[in-house]
Amino acid sequence: MRPVRMIAVALLGVLALGGLAGGLAFVTDPTGGRLGMTVERLPGWLPVADYLIPGVALIVLFGLLPAIVAVMLVRHSPRAWTATAALGVLLVFWSGAQIAALGLIFLSAQIGFLIVGIVLVGLGMDGGASDADEYAADDESYAYADDER
């Protein structure tokens, strides 16, 4: 496995573990107490009464989805790098929305996941380009394309 692919799989694994842990903490305690949060911290414009729905969203979007994308990368799926970049974009938007809604309450984690999102976008773009170059080098061109006129 190439280093770019290994780094992406490792980051996706960390993201999946974090998403599952945070999501399960919110689902099992919707008040947010397990993570040191309170329902009062939720902004009034957010259409949720507690952290249950955000917890489910964390489990699905950043627990299960990164695990699926990691498996796609390991299996060399043709859409794996696109999925990696898309997940990175989603994580950047989620982090930005979280900071806008709740403020910088977990500064190191919020900035850390924002950076992971940016890195996943870059890896998705670089890995896809590297795979395309690798596949192009393996394919022989058509005979007529190489003919001189």
pLDDT in tens, 71-94: 999 999 989 999 999 999 999 999
Gap between the Cα atoms of 23 and 54, Å rounded: 7
Gap between the Cα atoms of 23 and 120, Å rounded: 21
Q: Answer yes or no: is 54 within a domain.
A: yes
Mean local confidence (pLDDT), 125-148: 59
Please give the tally of structural domains in the chain. 1
Which domain, by its residues, includes 130?
3-137
Q: Are 120 and 8 in contact (CB under 8 A)?
A: yes
Q: Answer yes or no: is 149 within a domain.
A: no
Q: Is 103 left (phi over 0), alpha (psi -120 to 50) or beta?
A: left
Q: Answer yes or no: is 142 within a domain.
A: no
What mean pLDDT, rounded, does the chain reach? 87
Query: Measured between alpha carbons, how far apart are the two ends of the chain, in Å?
Result: 41
Q: Answer yes or no: is 147 within a domain.
A: no
Tokens of 120: 């996943």
Q: Answer yes or no: is 39 within a domain.
A: yes
Reported pTM:
0.81
List of residues 6+ apart from 48 with CB closer than 8 A:
42, 54
